[in-house]
Chains A and B, each alone.
Chain A
């Protein structure tokens, strides 16, 4: 028998593989057209804006476009020697132009981010720039002593770089010097690392708390008869029927110093009337409220996994001589790990980006990284730094996802 045909051919001579590909292509195209509207929506309103915003964390063309002359002149400056007259001249010309175009405010803001106190220097100098004459360096220094300072020029050089590591470094409390070194931010401006650490700490505590509180509830729901467990399920889902804002505000009423919880503790004699606990507007408040709000996200995946575990596993374990605890710990619990993992990663990722609850009940030490991102988006209008903080947060999340995949496995995850 000859055995040299590698592919199988159908009666019309077209190879079966090709036919299969053709028919698969058709069904794939149909599926693609069905999801096309959603894909377009996601691309336009989700993916593109995110990429655009995140790119601002390392791209800043503002100084380079508004002050082209000095940008060019500073490019060749080594950052250590005193700037030349040429640089000063380009600077004065740029300042005159910026003043005329009414863009000097933007330029001043940009440089001020690198070295505080330079905003007024720029606006003041620009007002007098069109009357300046050569030698320009002397004219600048005459206007303000700060032009004599090497740090000012270094800050300008850094501002003029379009691709800048400044924001990403600022997001982790570092800064970039004109000499190309990376150094720690000044002591009093180091806030982001603390905030990131606190965000992770709060997220971890909330994840553990929801796990400890949610696991027994899920277990109860999975072991009760269907009617009762459905009732419990409705109770678990009940919070979703009210807005997040309402639930958070309700916690304010509960936890404030004249609130229900403190009243009860005083009534029970746990604390004196004049030494009520401060349970809100601090980290405690954030932890309590977030644990409550994120609890369903822990319960549901665990419940959905437990529901599928036949009671015969535990029975088998017991019939072989395992005590209740051994049967639970060695047999039942390992089988619920996919649900625990899914719940934990869900709660953790939701928690790490949580915003409204810490904003409302967090006070000073209950703020999380999203709150500072919000501050830069809406108050300080430093979108570049906001984007950089967001990017760092995203990297954190991806890192934890990777960790999860290493130790539990993504394909082990069951969400329902």
Chain B
């Protein structure tokens, strides 16, 4: 095995409480490597912003250590950390023009005028906003303000940039467009980015790795593919993407395959992930796009059509499977779909590998 290199940013056993009663961040261990795009994803109130604020220096951790470039930064004030930040409301200074906003971080670093102008010009080119240098922030659209905020966090060439829901205020189309742009800028500059969002598709499209937060704990830290395809517990499975759930009592387990009995005494098999011992209940999770309307796969079960929703490229079919009335199938739009009727009984099937046996949280 290769020698383990230490991450550029390291959270070690970090805890945080605001009120002395409740831990908002519980024992966080996280390593972020240089040049990486890491996203913190989680529901509202899960402690993402708090982690970011601790890294930026606006909140202090109540336990543990945060290291940046292998130096502990607990005692370094925010303005000496050299970390760029993009805020959800952009925080562009309204009384300064775009150019003055961009010059600000360079001025406080006492960088000479000509060098300053050169850097501003370059960063404006990166975000494609060269013509707007004399405008006030109030004279820019949301997306343009977003670009300037991004440019401002990059202009002093920090090694680490933090972004807290930077696209949260934009409409869907613009948001998707900006996702690609931020991603490209990241690739172009090679800067390390820690990105916070509660939009899962944003996290999946943009990141090298995603840290899924819930209740102050990192539930899973992995690549987008693994987060989606191989969720490690029921929270991640349910939080990321859509998910069909079947609950059964475990009968036996062998070679990583769990066999269980559903409520209607039908038997089901799935890959063991973090399900419990024999005799306990487990949650079997299957992605809608991995379930097919035939009997061709190893796992086959009877289902009844409850609802059909036409979505153009595919038809969304809600079915009753065992006692679950929310079992979803995504059927690609083809001649076959037209034969389906509400109330009709049919067979659905999936591969064992696509069915994951997870813990039954709440």
Give me the interface of A with B, judged by CB distance under 8 Å.
310, 312-313, 315-324, 326-327, 330-331, 334-335, 337
Contact = CB atoms under 8 A, between A and B. Distances in A.
Interface string B68-88: 000000000111111111011
Nearest to B102: A320
A319 B89 contact: no
**Which bracket fits the contact residues of B?**
20 to 34
Contacts, number: 68
B225 to A, nearest CB: 32
B132 interface: no
Nearest to B152: A320
16 contacts: A310-B89, A313-B91, A315-B56, A315-B58, A315-B78, A316-B152, A319-B78, A319-B79, A319-B85, A320-B105, A321-B105, A322-B104, A326-B108, A330-B104, A335-B93, A335-B94
B85 A316 contact: yes
Contacts of A335: 93-95
A77 B280 CA distance: 122
B352 to A, nearest CB: 50
B108 A321 contact: yes
Which residue, of B78, B109, B162, has the highest number of chain A Cβ atoms within 10 A? Answer: B78
Contacts of A337: 95
B284 interface: no
Nearest to A332: B93
Interface in B77-126: 77-85, 87-89, 91, 93-95, 104-105, 108-109
A326 B88 CA distance: 23
Contacts of A330: 104
Contact of B85 (A310, A315, A331): A315
A315 B84 CA distance: 11
B11 interface: no
Contact of B156 (A315, A321, A327, A334): A321
B208 to A, nearest CB: 23
A15 B77 CA distance: 66
A318 B94 contact: no
B79 A318 contact: yes
Given A320-B84, A321-B80, 9 more contacts: A315-B78, A315-B91, A316-B85, A316-B91, A318-B57, A320-B152, A321-B82, A323-B108, A331-B93
A320 B108 contact: yes
Contact of A310 (B91, B105, B152): B91
Nearest to A326: B108
Contacts of A322: 79, 104-105, 108
Contacts of B56: 315, 319
B103 to A, nearest CB: 10
Given A312-B89, A315-B78, A320 B95 contact: no
Nearest to A311: B58
B80 to A, nearest CB: 8
A320 B104 contact: yes
A318 B109 CA distance: 12
